[in-house]
A and B are shown apart, each in its own frame.
Chain A
């Protein structure tokens, strides 16, 4: 059963101080929200990245502006694993409130670099402790209290760099990049880092096995968060009307979009914007504006998270039934209700699929990495206009707000697809027009845009019953014809949505793993664990969209058992798969819903436990 809890199995503990653990450990920085640790954490992560070592960064933060505990985890992984690593190898403890708990949660053999004042070394005798007087050192170079606090963060970066072999010149470059042209800030922070390093050099003896060594695995790579990647995708998709309402964790999507649009979408000749962005009064209005714009022919979008999706239900049904294109980003967070606003989940899948009353089914895309946040954003706009319906792009807080390494984004090679739009010339040539007539037999009908100067062009859009000619109708035959055509359109979409990623084992494995979205980040590592530690070979299937393509049935056919791994309580995608395949009894669920990003070890343990009973 999916709910069996297994004894957690820790990664093997480094057996002796002589053993080196190179480029394969995680650093967790425990600070206080609002203390300015964002810059130092980023610098630390970037410095490792610049040394050619694959990294990922995850910020675990409270729903609060300042004062509550926050943790930032940097994972260095020579194998390129980017999922969360369950075990913390190095704790950098700066927050008096959580320090004791943080230390106690560590596996034996791990390392604590901490603010000397916190006096942590007596808590345990199976860890390596490095006390450093960060704030005292900061006081040497920064006079006022606020500045001291900020600078203290960069002191720990220097100390960590010295301890773990992160090269100081790279730290300095990263500082320069972060603070950009602010020379004074750059100088101050560089001095702080150097001070932290110097203290370690002169006062501490390295006793732990963790080291960063130069590699060449990050050349040509970028570091970005998913919200920015989606924003870039929207920019290059040619979005023209954007309406949004602030909500964690989606806000930064439209905020970075605003920055990119201001930079790249102001007409050179006139200085005017080739876009309109509206911060709406609520999510209802945000989607309403997008729908009005989509109806009038703009490429329109909104972005939100779970609570906003709930509010958008009615309008989504309208757009589905009246066949109006728009793109809706859902950067998922933990629900129901307000839930855990700053924690990640994949809990909106069923909501998105069926959003609104009556018979509805929507197109949902699942980007799993930064490149796909970009690519599938562009696809979403094309699909929305091709199918004349809302298209959801479902990411989550982990993808959206955390920083990920990625290949450079590829410039779109296909032109923008505006779908079946008839111009005045088209109407003149064809000589007839019925808005909802299925001329091509694919369920997708032709539309005209308001403002088209032709007597055949105008039609009346209504959320009430309508016939092929867009006239009001309550006739049973008209209704049936309409909803059956919409179902047919949905079948056509199976041929157009992004295909899944499928990796069959060369060993003829009979166990399948299914994951999507941010969960994908933990899968390769999990498959490696199953293979190397337990000789279990697995196939992998990663859907990138709803509706499913025909591949899902074939995949399930080739497996005896299929584990659908997702980050919600009930196994929402697993249930949709069950509806779609002929052998639903093969589907099993591996579910993680703590708000913390899923990790490979959890999945491995869950699959093993279920396999024992298999």
Chain B
């Protein structure tokens, strides 16, 4: 455990400052929920002391996908095609298993055009952080409904959405995702704790963050507005994140008050009870919770499901420890005797 008191307050454990995690200035609308999330991404990586050069930022197309340019200039980024970020991220992680991969996507990118790839990413448990900046509309094309818009919600133009929403978290759990959380861009404390938990996780960590679109979906009648979210947000629990390099103080809490989730890298998530007893490691309970809260019209946030010891895709494929992309020729091109052997068999 490092001794935290010795380092200057503005430096993290690897001696970097917040500035080292900054990106380009945002070109999104002022007040956009996405920018709030961007700030928390910067904070989470800074506080975790992640080396920016080890991070890759992946995205598809849309307002949310632009935001990977607005954090961590010191990392490689890849802004690909609409709805197909999961495939590109999968390839990158397989090529270099040492990379820490964060993907930022939107609701259209994820569960409209990209729902197929999204599902398969989850089912493979590709080690990466996947943030959905969920606002229920297509911003870049000026405000059409996406597949997460609630039934009955209304566009500024008066158009009412009459199809049911896709619940990204329920879908993720069903697909085998090993870290599923829902949050709200207006709740920075929770967002950053969930992001840090996600950084500590070894499989796919999904954060479905309601991130209001101030231009096209922040009005009366929207169920993805700041106002609506603030009024309806219900915390599943209060979340604290204790990174692996900080001492965990043993404090006695009352029975059932605190749930401690040990993460794979030695970090801990502590969940303090708010209203209900909730165990995020119980998958069936998580599915039931999501169904019940949907029926009740609640907006529940927090860590909905986690399995900290799941086997990720790189493990399943039994990939060698060294990054595949760096293997030298003698490890990837078999020698002449191998070819001779194959030829003999074909004669």
Chain B residues whose C-beta falls within 8 Å of the C-beta of A286 in the assembled complex: 87
**A285:B120 contact, CB within 8 angstroms:** yes
Interface residues of B in 291-311 (CB under 8 A from A): none
Binds B, one of A138-146, A188-196, A294-302, A603-611: A294-302
**B77:A264 contact, CB within 8 angstroms:** no
- How many angstroms between the C-alpha atoms of A188 and B343 in the bound complex? 28
**A455:B74 contact, CB within 8 angstroms:** yes
- Please give the distance in Å from B7's CB to the nearest CB on chain A: 21
Asked if A131 is at the interface (CB within 8 A of a chain B CB), the reply is no
Q: With A284-B84, A409-B343, A415-B329 known to touch, is A295 a contact of B74 (CB < 8 Å)?
A: no
Residue of A nearest to B23 (CB): A460
Q: With A272-B320, A460-B69, A472-B69 known to touch, is A292 a contact of B327 (CB < 8 Å)?
A: no
Asked if A281 is at the interface (CB within 8 A of a chain B CB), the reply is yes
**A238:B319 contact, CB within 8 angstroms:** no
- How many angstroms between the C-alpha atoms of A260 and B319 in the bound complex? 16
**B332:A285 contact, CB within 8 angstroms:** no
**B324:A240 contact, CB within 8 angstroms:** yes
Cross-chain pair count, CB within 8 angstroms: 221
Binds B, one of A206-214, A217-225, A359-367, A548-556: A217-225
Chain A residues whose C-beta falls within 8 Å of the C-beta of B336 in the assembled complex: 411
Binds A, one of B32-40, B91-99, B200-208, B216-224: B91-99
Which residue from B78, B98, B327 sits with its C-beta under 8 Å from A461? Answer: B78
Which residue from B52, B58, B86, B95 sits with its C-beta under 8 Å from A297? Answer: B95
Which residue from A270, A290, A449 sits with its C-beta under 8 Å from B320? Answer: A270
**A-side interface residues, number (CB < 8 Å):** 73
**A285:B87 contact, CB within 8 angstroms:** yes
**A295:B339 contact, CB within 8 angstroms:** no
Which residue from B77, B79, B333 sits with its C-beta under 8 Å from A463? Answer: B79
Asked if B4 is at the interface (CB within 8 A of a chain A CB), the reply is no
**B343:A408 contact, CB within 8 angstroms:** yes
B54-98: contact bitstring with A at CB < 8 Å (1 yes, 0 no)?
101010000000001100011111111100101111111111101
- How many angstroms between the C-alpha atoms of A286 and B84 in the bound complex? 11
- How many angstroms between the C-alpha atoms of A539 and B117 in the bound complex? 51
Interface residues of A in 464-515 (CB under 8 A from B): 464, 472
Chain B residues whose C-beta falls within 8 Å of the C-beta of A271 in the assembled complex: 318
Q: With A454-B53, A462-B79 known to touch, is A300 a contact of B91 (CB < 8 Å)?
A: yes
- How many angstroms between the C-alpha atoms of A431 and B246 in the bound complex? 38
Asked if A562 is at the interface (CB within 8 A of a chain B CB), the reply is no
Which residue from B80, B93, B124, B342 sits with its C-beta under 8 Å from A260? Answer: B342
Asked if B334 is at the interface (CB within 8 A of a chain A CB), the reply is yes
**A289:B88 contact, CB within 8 angstroms:** yes
Asked if B141 is at the interface (CB within 8 A of a chain A CB), the reply is no
**A267:B320 contact, CB within 8 angstroms:** yes
- How many angstroms between the C-alpha atoms of A284 and B332 in the bound complex? 26
Asked if A314 is at the interface (CB within 8 A of a chain B CB), the reply is yes
Residue of B nearest to A406 (CB): B346
- Please give the distance in Å from B251's CB to the nearest CB on chain A: 39
- Please give the distance in Å from B54's CB to the nearest CB on chain A: 6
Chain B residues whose C-beta falls within 8 Å of the C-beta of A300 in the assembled complex: 91, 95
Chain A residues whose C-beta falls within 8 Å of the C-beta of B231 in the assembled complex: none
Chain B residues whose C-beta falls within 8 Å of the C-beta of A240 in the assembled complex: 95, 324-325, 327, 332
Asked if A171 is at the interface (CB within 8 A of a chain B CB), the reply is no
Asked if B338 is at the interface (CB within 8 A of a chain A CB), the reply is yes
- How many angstroms between the C-alpha atoms of A236 and B336 in the bound complex? 10
> Number of contact residues on B: which range applies?
35 or more
Q: With A300-B95, A457-B53 known to touch, is A237 a contact of B324 (CB < 8 Å)?
A: no
Which residue from B77, B94, B96, B120 sits with its C-beta under 8 Å from A281? Answer: B120
Asked if B317 is at the interface (CB within 8 A of a chain A CB), the reply is yes
Interface residues of A in 286-320 (CB under 8 A from B): 286-300, 314-315, 318
Chain A residues whose C-beta falls within 8 Å of the C-beta of B89 in the assembled complex: 292
Asked if B116 is at the interface (CB within 8 A of a chain A CB), the reply is yes
Asked if A169 is at the interface (CB within 8 A of a chain B CB), the reply is no
Which residue from B75, B91, B119, B325 sits with its C-beta under 8 Å from A288? Answer: B91
Asked if A1 is at the interface (CB within 8 A of a chain B CB), the reply is no
- Please give the distance in Å from B92's CB to the nearest CB on chain A: 4
Asked if A17 is at the interface (CB within 8 A of a chain B CB), the reply is no
Chain B residues whose C-beta falls within 8 Å of the C-beta of A463 in the assembled complex: 79-81
Chain B residues whose C-beta falls within 8 Å of the C-beta of A272 in the assembled complex: 318-321
Interface residues of A in 40-87 (CB under 8 A from B): none
**B339:A296 contact, CB within 8 angstroms:** no
- How many angstroms between the C-alpha atoms of A291 and B333 in the bound complex? 21
- How many angstroms between the C-alpha atoms of A145 and B318 in the bound complex? 43
**Which one of B68, B76, B86 has the highest number of Cβ atoms from chain A below 10 Å of its Cβ?**
B76
**A458:B74 contact, CB within 8 angstroms:** yes
The 5 closest A-B pairs by CB, nearest first: A292-B91, A288-B87, A297-B325, A238-B332, A298-B95
Residues of B bordering A, CB below 8 Å = 51-54, 56, 58, 68-69, 73-81, 84, 86-96, 98-99, 116-117, 119-120, 124, 314, 317-321, 323-327, 329, 331-334, 336, 338-339, 342-343, 346-347
16 A–B contacts from the bound complex (CB under 8 Å): A238-B327, A238-B333, A270-B320, A270-B321, A275-B324, A276-B324, A281-B116, A281-B119, A286-B87, A288-B84, A289-B91, A289-B94, A293-B324, A315-B81, A453-B51, A454-B53
Known pairs A285-B86, A288-B84, A293-B95. 19 more at Cβ < 8 A?
A232-B339, A237-B333, A239-B332, A240-B327, A264-B338, A272-B318, A272-B320, A276-B314, A278-B94, A296-B93, A297-B325, A298-B95, A298-B96, A314-B84, A416-B332, A449-B96, A451-B54, A460-B78, A461-B79
